[in-house]
Structure 1
Amino acid sequence: MSSSKQAPLLSRDGVSLLLPFIIITSCFALWGFANDITGPLVKAFSKIFRMSVTEGALVQVAFYLGYFCMAFPAALFIQRYSYKAGVLLGLSLYAVGAAMFIPAQMAGFYYPFLAAYFIMTCGLSFLETSCNPYIYCMGPEESATRRLNLAQAFNPIGALAGMYVAMHFVQERLHPLDTAERALLSPEEFEQIKSDDLWVLIQPYIYIAAVLVAIIILVRLLKMPKAGDTRSSKKLSTALGELVRIKNYREGVIAQFFYVGAQVMCWTFIIQYGTHVFMSEGMDERSAEILSQKFNIAALICFTCSRFVCTWFLKYIAPGRLLSILGILAAIFSVGAIVMTDRSGVYCLVGISACMSLMFPTIYGIALRGLGDNVKFGSAGLIMSILGGSVFPPLQALVIDSGVTAGGLPSTNLSFAIPLICFIVITAYGTRAYRRTHSGETE
């Protein structure tokens, strides 16, 4: 049984931190929106620019590369200034990146969009590096994992909004010509349809940029607490030297790297997987894509509901143990997605999302345990591990594009062996973390 159920959740030294918690938690929804409007658009970019799945997956490379590049600069920034300053800078870069979609659309080329995604996710890296440890510090360390799970429960609400917008305001409004028909267009026809489709694609980003400006003003005007927000003269090299010697933290960074890769793969390539299944049933490509996106939204709904349920379970089950249980279930569903070639495989992918709900904040909370004044740099290392979302999707896309088959299973199915490996690594970390906690081992 977890001892954290006795610890206060949203207070420190007898002072309620509910309002700051609500304000910072809203940022979790904002980056959830950005993350999950992006995945479905990999297929859209591939169609609009007549590219392969692998080329389209460069969107995810640019997206998660920003997280990697800015994590430690963000940690140094909030170390010198404050969590609030980090939040404000993160929101500003997010807004600038979203606004860059306008000149990218005007240019009509693919790579300016990748630059916009990169700048946007530099902002998201600042946000996550600031908000996660800020939430972690808004109360006792004993209840930190529960508090992180509660805040992260609002992340999939933003994610659902992103997927809904991607389906109803982007995918359904794109020109109905499928990939094969677009390949037959004349250069003039192709350019006109591409321009129209890109205008549809950028509109959500224009609106989110306007929303971000309003939130920047709100956060700037509000007085925020100093919980855990103390300056330190410790050098980055010193902090890193201390962190790498902590086994629990070191393994947590690795587990987070594999988790983010698994999440991005499952939420990006469910579109390709579902499209393949539904077209084999006789459905046209556009209808198959839209139905696949509906399953993707169903996966996010399961993820959201499971996050609240699992947060409640953490009152009674140790985080490491619950993480390992969900990792085993996710691995079983991954096997199902590999071996089943009908709609049952799509249902397995939906089931994986229910298992993933707890993983990010729980790995995060376990890994930060006992870091003391190294929490900010420790958080940056965990945010850098989001690079897994940039590394693994292109590998899976290469498998899909290869067209390789084995035992009658298509390449789309076989590609989910990569998420399976990721869930095995996560299960191992949960098991080891639980044993360390149970035995009292700290390193």
Structure 2
Amino acid sequence: MSKNKFLLPFIMITSLFFLWGFVHNLDPILIPHLKKSFSLSTLQASLVDSSVFIAYFVMALPAGLLMKKYGYKTGIIIGLLLFALGSFLFIPAANTQQYFFFLIALFIIACGLTILETAANPYASLLGPPETATFRLNFAQTFNGLAATLAPTIGARIILIEGNSEEALAAMSAPARQIALASEASSVKTPYLVLGCIILIIAVIFVFLKLPEIQETAEQPGEKTGIVHALKHKHLSWAVAAQFFYVGAQVCVFSFFILYATKAAGISQQKAADYAGYGAGLAFLIGRIVGTSLMKFIKAELLLVIYALINVLLCIVAITATGYTALFAVIGIAFFMSIMFPTIFSLGIKDLGKDTKFGSSLIIMSIVGGAVIPPVMAYVSDEWQDIQMGYIVPLICFVVVFFFGLKGHKVVKI
């Protein structure tokens, strides 16, 4: 198949990376917003992350089975429709003023994202010559980094509206307080309505778009395949573990960024949100661009080892330093973790053949680390009464990524 036939499909697939990156990076804005709007505890507010990342655990294997039977295009369309449905559900959630409905809407969005990521990551990797698969996936993931830059700054200005202070709310009568909080909660309706409409338009485009179905190794009669067989590939098992810890570390860095910045650097939440976007988010984007370029000269697994080791050192700085030194250390972590997800993914599905779709599902399933690891960091932070000490947890995560890049990625024939 000619390169021209791959171009438009690759552009459309790349657009998906931006979309799910954008909605993911609205979550750190939703957490303080919903916490205030519903007078939640920190633990209750953290259910935003839990409802999102648990969906990856629940839906990853069904997504793999779906694409195994119907192909990547069908998976992408279904994922987009669920994404749009969840976005539209923010409107009745805001109208009914029920936090549980917001969590349901987020869960449905995440179910759609799970299917999209299960499809788009291997599709981008396989849509071209095998020798450039890691480069291609990192390039597509660069747009995920662009979304990480834009979403916090845009979201802070649209969703984190200037409302009543906690003291002013406490002084109000119960009916007046309910009206005030309802007004603040309603600020999510327009952004998610617009997002849902955009997603629907893209779904329609995919319906009429001719996507080349990637041909994988045909199964021979009596030949074993499936989840258990896929896990016999040692490099896939390593990738599942590495991705679990990496995603956990990434969610820790971004979700706790505003809390960390306000404590370590002593800045306001609004300024911290700007640093989250134009600092950590932009560093993440630039890191993707730089890392993707470096892969033309440095093997992906070696670059992964170097970046993971640097992040271990930066975590030590984030724990021990104060002020803007600590803040910029965390921004540096965002830069050097930028290539990790797509690199782990592409190395993990390398040479899987007929097991590629199940392998993809298992790696996407490991994104549940984003639901498991952050509460561990929160627990450590609470025990030490210091959010900086919580960075011991991402440090350990990056050590696991380091060993995957060092030896775990090596393909052993089965």
Q: TM-score, normalised by structure 2?
A: 0.94
Equivalent residue for 1:154?
Answer: 143
Which of the residues 23, 33, 54 maps onto 1:34? Answer: 23
Equivalent residue for 1:416?
Answer: 391
Equivalent residue for 1:62?
Answer: 51
Cα pair 1:303 1:354 within 8 Å, conserved: yes
Amino acid at match of 2:66: F
Percentage identity across paired residues of the two chains: 34
Higher mean alpha-carbon deviation, 188-197 vs 68-77, is at: 188-197
Which of the residues 248, 258, 261 maps onto 1:274? Answer: 261
Cα pair 1:261 1:390 within 8 Å, conserved: yes
Distance 1:110 1:420, change over 3 A: same
Equivalent residue for 1:239?
Answer: 226
2:211 is equivalent to residue 224 of structure 1: yes
Equivalent residue for 1:360?
Answer: 341
2:74 is equivalent to residue 82 of structure 1: no
Distance 1:17 1:110, change over 3 A: same
Amino acid at match of 1:135: A
Amino acid at match of 1:177: S
Higher mean alpha-carbon deviation, 85-94 vs 37-46, is at: 37-46
Aligned-residue offset at 1:159: 2.6
Correspondence list, 1:87-98, <5 A? 87-98=76-87
| Cα distance in 2 between the residues matched to 1:234 and 1:378 | 21
Correspondence list, 1:293-442, <5 A? 293-297=273-277, 298-400=279-381, 402=382, 404-405=383-384, 410-433=385-408, 436=410, 441-442=412-413
Segments of 5+ residues of structure 1 without an aligned counterpart are 1-11
Distance 1:59 1:14, change over 3 A: closer
2:237 is equivalent to residue 250 of structure 1: yes
| Cα distance in 1 between the residues matched to 2:317 and 2:333 | 10
Amino acid at match of 1:193: A
Equivalent residue for 1:9?
Answer: none
Amino acid at match of 2:208: L
Cα pair 1:92 1:123 within 8 Å, conserved: yes
For residues 132-162 of structure 1, give each alpha carbon's deviation from its aligned partner in whole angstroms, at most 9, with x where no partner exists: 1111221122211111111111112223232
Equivalent residue for 2:190?
Answer: 203
Distance 1:299 1:426, change over 3 A: same
Aligned-residue offset at 1:25: 0.7
| Cα distance in 1 between the residues matched to 2:92 and 2:50 | 21
| Cα distance in 1 between the residues matched to 2:221 and 2:44 | 42
Distance 1:13 1:112, change over 3 A: same
| Cα distance in 1 between the residues matched to 2:95 and 2:223 | 41
Aligned-residue offset at 1:14: 6.2
Aligned-residue offset at 1:278: 4.8
For residues 150-180 of structure 1, give each alpha carbon's deviation from its aligned partner in whole angstroms, at most 9, with x where no partner exists: 1111112223232222111112x141514x6
Amino acid at match of 2:308: G
Amino acid at match of 2:240: V
Other structure's SS at 2:201 match: helix
| Cα distance in 2 between the residues matched to 1:221 and 1:267 | 36
Cα pair 1:274 1:292 within 8 Å, conserved: yes
Distance 1:265 1:14, change over 3 A: closer
Equivalent residue for 1:175?
Answer: 163
| Cα distance in 2 between the residues matched to 1:411 and 1:234 | 59
| Cα distance in 2 between the residues matched to 1:145 and 1:222 | 25
Distance 1:150 1:228, change over 3 A: farther
Segments of 5+ residues of structure 2 without an aligned counterpart are none
Other structure's SS at 1:164 match: helix
Distance 1:417 1:26, change over 3 A: same
Equivalent residue for 1:290?
Answer: 270
| Cα distance in 2 between the residues matched to 1:233 and 1:47 | 58
| Cα distance in 2 between the residues matched to 1:423 and 1:50 | 35
Distance 1:187 1:416, change over 3 A: farther
Aligned-residue offset at 1:41: 1.7
Amino acid at match of 1:91: L
Equivalent residue for 1:132?
Answer: 121
Cα pair 1:81 1:231 within 8 Å, conserved: no
Cα pair 1:43 1:271 within 8 Å, conserved: no
Aligned-residue offset at 1:131: 0.8
Distance 1:217 1:233, change over 3 A: farther
RMSD of aligned Cα (Å): 2.2
How many residues end up aligned between the 2 structures?
A: 413
Aligned-residue offset at 1:183: 4.9
